[in-house]
Structures are given as structure tokens and as C-alpha cells.
Chain A
Amino acid sequence: MQLFKLFMRILKKKLPLAMVYVVVFMLLCVAFSANGDNEGSFEESKVSVVITDNDNTPESKALTDYIASRQKVVETKIPVKDALFYNQISFSLTINEGYAHRLAGGDTEALFTQEYVHESYGAAYMTSFLDEYVSCIRAAMLSGEDTLTAAGSAASAMDTAAEVEMLSSDAGKLTGLLSGHGFFRYLPYVILSVMMMSLSSVLISINSKEVRYRTNCSSVSPTSYVMQLLGGSVEFMLGVWLLFMVLGAVLEGGFSGRGWLQVLNSFVFSIVATLIAAMISLLLRSAQAVTLISNVVGLAMSFISGVFVPQSIMNSSVLAVGKFMPMYWYTKANEMIVGTEVYHTNEYVQCLLIQAGFAAALAAVTLVIFRLKMKTNEN
């Protein structure tokens, strides 16, 4: 077990740098969680409106009251133009004198004077709102109602709103970590970085030509050598994965429902990340190069695989390249689980199997490189 102990001893020296990634990631997750509490609910936004009623009739009063019930009516002590400029209000509405009279006569021209910031969202919304209100009154009046009754009918008709449901909350089935699913979305990048920063460095150190020569001369068999390093790597992988799962559970209040599918998905990816780190350790000669390579590989793979940008909005040719990365299949499975894409159990299992396939291929390549390196050193 001497090599295994050595593995752990060197790992202890390499861990602090890798832990920086963990700490930064956890801090970001705490921030995401704090901001993500409202993600499961929907609230209609209101436009800040200043109303000046120059008509002072029951009809103009009815309009003012209705706007107040739907939007945010405010008063301003500074001139309206300044209030618009400083974004204190979004819209200024003046109900012109003769509003009720014109409406009763079927004249919908010059009912209001409006001031707003050109092409602003609030202005577009209020203009449309007023047009709809006037149209509804006209429709009610055509059916025989008087102006005041028609104003009430218009308000009732416009109060009918579409019911909004947040799909990602999946009717309460997905809770905890999934409510702000940044944790599992960014997790592969962090796991891969931590693995490369620590595991690759440890393996480079242990497998350096000089010390391996000395180890090869000892009474440690090659099988025992590989098994002890494998044991160390697996233990470290499990440790890192469990650490993230525990931290995640503490942060968001545990797993439930499909959350366990994400746990499984992250476990399979952790195996892949471990093998990537092991392979890189055999390709690099110096531990100093690990930081650079881990940043390049981790970031490139994450960008191409859709870790930072949802796959649904990524360019198809980039995604075609991404399919050759295990991280792509992790992300695809994750997006299905959180509801960004439609969930199918078959496709989820397929994503896991493809990742497992990558793991098998990486293991084979790593062993081949290891044997080739041994052979090269022999000659």
C-alpha cells in the first residue's frame, strides 16, 4: 500500500489549488440559489404611469381607476419629460377635455395625449392597452350600452388573462437543487477542473521517469503499481463527487424526484473526468503545464458541450462537434431532467450509456499510452 499512501500524501499537497475551484463554485451556487427563489412563480410586470385627467367626468374617472388597478399610477414632482428621462416613469397619459363626449359620439380621435420614451417596452404596452380599452368600449356601445356601462364591460373583458405556468418547476415535482439548476449545469466543468488540477498533477509526479525507474527496480509488481494508483484515483473521485453532492444537498435542501437522475448523471461524468485526468497525466511531462492544459481543456469542452450556454440556442455545427465530447451528453441529459428539453427515459439512459462508452474508450487509450510509455522508457 506504499504507493497508495504516497498518492494520498502528494494529493494532500496538490489539493489546495483545486479547492479554489470548489470554493468559488460553491460561492457562485449560493449566489444563484439566493437569486433563484422566484424562478418557480410568475408575476405580471406593471408600467409606471402618470395620469392627468382634464375631462373630470365619470367616464374619465372610470378609465383612471381601471388603469390604477392594472398598472402602477404614480405622481411626479418634477416635469414629466424629466421623469421620463430619469426613468422614474415609463408613460405619461393626459385624458383630454371632452373625452366622454367624443367617446359617446363614436369619435376615438384625440381622446388622449401621450408622452413616452420612444421604443420603450412600457410605451408599447400602454399604447396597446389603451387601444384595446377604447375598442372594448366601442364594441360594448354598439351592443346598446351607454358609455359608463361600456367602460365597466371593457374593464371586465380585459381582466380575462391567460394563466401562466412555469414549465421548469414541473408542477412541484422538481425541487431543491433543480429550482436553480445552475449547480448541476456547471458541475461538469468544476469536476473536470478539480480532477485535472489535482489528479493529473499527482500522477505526473508519481509516474515521472526517474522515480518510476526506482519503483520498477523494487519488489512492487506492475500489477500492484497500477492497482494502487487506480485505488487512489477511484477513492479521490468518489471523495470529490460525494463532496459536491453533500454541498449541493446542504445548499438546496436535498434531492427528490428527478434530482436523483442528476446525481446519477454526475456520478457517471465523474468517472469520465477521472479518466480524462489520468490520460492527460500521461501526455504531459511537467506538472507545471497542468494548470494551463486544465483551463484550456475544461473551458473548451464546456463551451462546445453547452455547459455555459444552453444547447437549445447553440449553433448546430458547434453541437455536432460537441457530440464527440462526453460533457455534451452529460449536459443533454441534464437539460432533459431540468425541463429545458423534453424528458424521455430512453434518451436519458442513452446519454448515460454514451458517457460510459467514453469512459471505456478513455480507459483503453490510457492503458495503451501507459504501456507505450513503459516500452519507450525500456528502450
Chain B
Amino acid sequence: MAENVVKIENLVKRYGELIALDHLDLEIKAGEVFGLLGPNGSGKTTTINCLLSLLSYDKGSIEIFGKKMSPTAYDIKKDIGIIMQNVAVFEELTVQENIDYFCGLYITDKAKRKQYVDEAISFAGLEDFRKFFPKKLSGGLLRRLNIACGIAHKPRLIILDEPTVAVDPQSRNKILEGIEELNRNGATIIYTSHYMEEVEQICTRIAIMDKGRKIAEGTKEELKTMIKNTETITVALHELPEKVLDEISALSHIYSADYTDGTLTACCSGGRHNLIRILEILQKNDLHIGKVTTAQPTLNDVFLEITGKALRDKED
């Protein structure tokens, strides 16, 4: 069994009357890409700030790499990389100088640092922009520079706080591929995002937070089993008599059936051959069947059902 890279126990953080973190427990194993999901104000950023010892907390304990995390735990900090939503680079320094500076906060050996900086530049695909100042870079390149600055020192734990906000699709794909590569190279990743498809694509385990509490945790498959819906079937029809709709609704494992704008939508909860049984009823009633689709629940469905709210674009 993989060792714990992060272990948070019973963490409580209060801002006056407001409880930002309410007895939070989290365990993140080595080699995981751990997704932290939650609506605005759910406590994701507070969790990360406590994890990094940038915020004090009222109760609980945090261990990273098996050691107690504290503001002066520099031996732990040197193995952590942080990439925030906002680009944190110096306008006055070139791409190479920026990466060299941030790498130099951890790596003092010059030769080693030079090698690491070159590798980070190559990793981020910034070879042609070494001498460029940040102002001259596009939004996507700037994000890649931001990531390069955070990972140049080869940390064992990388925290990415919404790194793809306001990034074009091409750059986003490049960033996601990069995160997967970092993970393949042995880094444990903590990833927060509002983009469900990103989390679904790269995270091996996910925790959903709301109001400072962890309300669900598991692999995406495990999370999907936590909700009622297991399959959504849609069938395009010219017409659907009321009695046929009632017949479909009465099928076992169909908990909701609806006909709107020429489309029958049936939500299933468990059961097998639901689609075949619906199509049999439609054929028996001589109805002309158009396009048929069947969809598994997404993480978004899980999130909506569990939290009762949609994710928004801004962080808490």
C-alpha cells in the first residue's frame, strides 16, 4: 500500500464565527493525482493554505511526507511545488531568469539548478521564449511559465490551484498533459479546478468539499455510484402518447421519464437492459424511432446531486 504523502486529521479553521474548515480529514497517497472539488467558499483554498502552513488553524494536525507540517518545516517545503491561479512571475525578468529565481529558492547548487531550469523550460515548451519578458508572452505561454516556475525544483508534491483558468483549449491540453507527465515522473499532485472534465480526465481520486467539510471522496467510478442515476437514455420521437410514456415510467429501475420537444428522456437507477426494454415498448406501439443515446453520469451530475449547486468560475 502506498505511503501517505498528505494526512490531514480533524482540521478546524475559524474566521470569527465563520467555520472555514469543519473537522476535515484527508489522506493523499504517493503517486496520486488528487482532485479537490467544491463550490465557491467550500474551503479548498483554505485547505491548501493550511497545508502549506501559510495559515494557522484552530484544531487538528497536518502531516506531509510523514512529518508534521509547520511554518518552519523547510525540509518539507523544499519538496513542495505550488502553482496558483494567478500568474506569479516578475515582469522585470526574462522567462529563463524567472524560472532560475524560483528554482534558486530551493536549489543552491548552480550546475544542478541550470540543468533543472533547462528541463523545466523544455517541459513547458518554452525553449523559443527563454529571453522573452512575460509581457511579450501570450496568456497560454504565461500559464506555462507559471507552471515551470512552480515545478523547476522537481518537487515530490505539487499543488495546482486552478491552473487552467482563462487558458485557451490548446494550452489547456498541453498543461494537462504536462501534469500527467509530472505524475508519471513520480510527483504526487493535488489539483483544484472548476472544470469537471479536467478533473475527470486526470484525477485518480477526488474529494468534494462543501461548507468546509468533505462530503464525498473516492475514485470517479466510486463517486458515480454514490448517486441515484446510473444511466440516462434519450430517444428522438415524432410523437409519444401519454399511455406509452406511463408504460415506460412503470418499468422497474426507471425512476423518471419525460417527453419534451420530441425527445424522450429516461433516467435509470441500476438494472440491466433498460434501453432494450424501452425500445421494445416503442416498437410494440408502432412509433418511429429517431436518434437513440445512452449516457453514464458525469462528475458534474455527481457534484450537482451531492452539493445541490453548480460550480462557478471564481474561487472562494
**A205, B88: Cβ atoms closer than 8 Å:** no
Question: Contacts A217-B77, A221-B72: A2 and B101 contacting too (C-beta < 8 A)?
Answer: yes
Whether B279 sits at the interface, judged by CB under 8 Å, is: no
* A215 contact set on B, CB distance < 8 A: 105
Give the interface segment out of A40-48, A206-214, A354-362.
A206-214
**A379 close to chain B: CB less than 8 A:** yes
Flag whether B129 is at the interface (Cβ < 8 A).
no
B105 touches A205 (CB 8 A): no
Q: Which residues of A contact B78 (CB under 8 A)?
A: 218-219
Bound Cα distance A137, B15 (Å): 100
On chain B, the residues within 8 Å of A216 by CB distance are 52, 54
Known: A9-B97, A217-B52. A210 touches B87 (CB 8 A): yes
Minimum CB–CB distance from B44 to chain A (whole Å) comes to 16
CA distance A10 to B92 in the complex (A): 6
Docked-complex contact B54 and A213, CB < 8 angstroms: yes
CB < 8 Å: which of B84, B93, B97, B106 contacts A213?
Answer: B84
Tell whether A210 pairs with B104 under 8 Å between CB atoms, given A10-B92, A219-B78. Answer: no
B264 at the interface (CB under 8 A from A): no
Q: Quick check: B149 and A214 within 8 Å, CB to CB?
A: yes
Considering the complex, give the chain A residue whose CB is closest to the CB of B15: A379
In angstroms, how far is the closest chain A Cβ from the Cβ of B101? 5
Are A218 and B77 CB-contacts (below 8 A) given A2-B105, A9-B93, A378-B55?
yes
Q: Is the CB of B106 within 8 A of A205?
A: no
The secondary-structure label for the interface of chain A is helix
Tally of A interface residues using CB under 8 Å: 21
Write the nearest CB–CB distance from A219 to chain B, whole angstroms: 4
Q: How large is the interface on B (under 10, 10 to 19, 20 to 34, 35 or more residues)?
A: 20 to 34
Which residues on B sit within 8 Å (CB–CB) of A221? Answer: 72, 74
A-B contact count (CB 8 A): 63
- Chain A: CB-nearest residue to B72: A221
Name B9-65 residues within 8 Å CB distance of A.
15, 49, 52, 54-56
CA distance A217 to B55 in the complex (A): 11
- Rounded to whole Å, the gap between the CB of A10 and the closest CB of chain B is 5
Write out, one digit per residue, whether chain B residues 83-111 have a CB within 8 A of any chain A CB (1) or not (0): 01011111111000100011011100000
B212 interface hit (Cβ, 8 Å): no
Query: What 0/1 pattern do residues 1 to 32 of A give for CB contact below 8 A with B?
Result: 01001100110011000000000000000000
A219 CB contacts on chain B under 8 angstroms? 74-75, 77-78, 105-106
Q: Does B80 lie at the interface of the complex (its beta carbon under 8 Å from any beta carbon of A)?
A: yes
The answer to whether A378 touches B54 (Cβ under 8 A) is: yes
Option from B15, B54, B91, B93 in Cβ contact (under 8 Å) with A217: B54
**A14, A211, A214: residue with the most chain B Cβ atoms closer than 10 Å:** A214
Whether B163 sits at the interface, judged by CB under 8 Å, is no
A220 near B: Cβ within 8 Å? yes
Q: Identify which of B56, B93, B150 contacts A214 (C-beta below 8 A).
A: B150
The interface residues of chain B lying within 8 Å CB-to-CB of A220 are: 105
Complex formed: what's the CA distance from A116 to B55 in Å? 86
In the bound complex, how far is the Cα of B93 from the Cα of A205, in angstroms? 11
Query: Does B82 have its Cβ within 8 Å of any Cβ on chain A?
Result: yes
The residues of B that contact A218 with a CB separation of less than 8 Å are: 77-78, 102, 105-106
Contact, CB under 8 Å: A9 / B92: yes
User: Which residues of chain B are within 8 angstroms of A13 by Cβ–Cβ distance?
Assistant: 92
Contact present for A205 and B72 (CB under 8 Å): no
From 196 to 254 in chain A, residues with beta carbon under 8 angstroms from any chain B beta carbon are 205, 210-211, 213-221
The residue from B72, B75, B86, B93 contacting A210, defined by CB atoms under 8 A apart: B86
Closest CB in chain A relative to B258 CB, distance in Å: 47
Which residues of A are found within 8 Å of B77, using beta-carbon distances?
217-219
Q: In whole angstroms, how far apart are the Cα atoms of A379 and B86 in the complex?
A: 17
Q: From residue B6, how far is it (CB to closest CB) to chain A in Å?
A: 15
Residue of B15, B97, B102 with most partner-chain A CB within 10 A: B102
* CB closest chain-A residue, reference B56: A378
Bound CA span A217–B64, Å:
14
- B82 touching A6, Cβ below 8 Å: no
Known: A205-B90, A379-B15. A2 touches B84 (CB 8 A): no
Q: What residues on B are CB-neighbors of A378 within 8 Å? A: 49, 54-56
The residues of A that contact B90 with a CB separation of less than 8 Å are: 6, 10, 205, 211
CB distance from A201 to the nearest CB of B (A): 9
**Closest beta carbon of chain A to B243's beta carbon, Å:** 62
Docked Cα-Cα span, A215 to B56, in Å, equals: 18
Task: Name 14 interchain pairs, CB-CB below 8 A, sorted by A.
Answer: A5-B101, A9-B92, A9-B97, A10-B92, A10-B93, A14-B92, A210-B86, A211-B88, A211-B90, A213-B82, A213-B84, A217-B77, A217-B82, A219-B74
Counting from the closest, the 7 A-B pairs by CB-CB distance are: A210-B88, A218-B105, A219-B74, A2-B104, A219-B78, A13-B92, A217-B82
